[in-house]
Amino acid sequence: MKLVGFGFLLTVFVTALVWLGWGVQAAIAGGAFGLLATAIHVVSVVALKRVWNAPFKELAKGWGIGMALRLGGAVVWMLAVLLRGDLFPALPTAIGFLGVLIPLLFSEIRFLK
């Protein structure tokens, strides 16, 4: 639950920064991708937590699932920007996604204990 709260807090912070820099439409797009990053990270941590004390082969598989989900989020970002660039401006949307995902990734070990 702390992980969801931290992700939501990061999303609000990054969305506010995007709003100040690019306006309302960019903030909506950045906030949406911040929430996507939070959801991806929560699922990744759950997948890794299930195999945390398992043999290395299982641990690597859980880690790989999380990395694949994060890469999938980047693909969703790319598709959104290419298909609907009017709704998802590239830089603000990327800042919304990566501005949430990267701090969550660096704090991941805290949520695995």
Give the pTM: 0.91
| Cβ–Cβ < 8 Å for 28, 95 | no
Give the pLDDT of residue 109: 78
From its phi and psi, is residue 55 left (phi > 0), alpha (psi between -120 and 50) or beta?
beta
Give the pLDDT of residue 15: 97
Instruction: Write phi, then psi, for 62 (nearest 5 degrees).
Output: -65, -40
Q: What is the percent of the chain where pLDDT is above 70?
A: 97
Q: How many whole angstroms separate alpha carbon 31 and alpha carbon 48?
A: 26
Q: How many whole angstroms separate alpha carbon 45 and alpha carbon 73?
A: 15
The predicted model gives 57-82 an average pLDDT of 94
The predicted model gives 75-104 an average pLDDT of 96
Number of domains in the chain: 1
| Cβ–Cβ < 8 Å for 37, 97 | yes
Band of pLDDT at residue 113, cut at 50, 70 and 90: low
| Cβ–Cβ < 8 Å for 64, 6 | no
Domain that includes residue 69, residue range: 2-112
Residue 108 amino acid letter = E
Looking at the predicted structure, is the pLDDT value of residue 44 above 80?
yes
The predicted model gives 80-99 an average pLDDT of 96
Residue 112 amino acid letter = L
The predicted model gives 77-103 an average pLDDT of 96
